[in-house]
């Protein structure tokens, strides 16, 4: 099991990035959260099966249609199992 803290920058707000991230994370059976940051980037925590977390990271490098992802900063952390679902936070 893996936990990944991710910051995605580029044109990632106003293009349904959070909503599509949640849909994709749920489809991959991941838990955690996603939110917009004040600097225009998106931050997320993903927890789950190693291969599903890696698949989510690959998705983040593309994002939804109309997103322009310039950089993904991914930092692996210790898996905690603290989440029961995947949410959009504010």
Structural domains of the chain, ranges and CATH numbers in brackets: 2-75 (3.30.70.100)
Q: Which one from 11, 20, 35, 36 is the annotated catalytic residue?
A: 36
Note the pLDDT tens digit of each residue in 15-27.
Answer: 999 999 999 999 9
Look up 52 and say whether it is catalytic: no
Q: Which one from 18, 20, 35, 87 is the annotated catalytic residue?
A: 18
Look up 18 and say whether it is catalytic: yes
Q: Note the pLDDT of residue 87.
A: 98
Note the pLDDT tens digit of each residue in 27-74.
Answer: 999 999 999 999 999 999 999 999 999 999 999 999 999 999 999 999
DSSP sequence for 6-70:
EEEEEE-SSSSHHHHHHHHHHHTT-EEEEEE-TTS-EEEEEEE-HHHHHHHHHHHHH-STT-EEE
């Amino acid at each position: 099991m893996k936990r990944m803290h991710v910051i995605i920058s580029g044109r990632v707000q106003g293009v349904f990035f959070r909503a599509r991230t949640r849909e994709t994370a749920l489809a991959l059976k991941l838990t955690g959260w996603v939110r917009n940051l004040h600097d225009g980037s998106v931050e997320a925590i993903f927890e789950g099966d190693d291969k599903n977390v890696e698949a989510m990271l690959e998705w983040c490098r593309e994002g939804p249609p109309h997103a322009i992802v310039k950089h993904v900063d991914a930092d692996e952390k210790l898996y905690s199992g603290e989440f029961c679902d995947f949410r959009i936070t504010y």
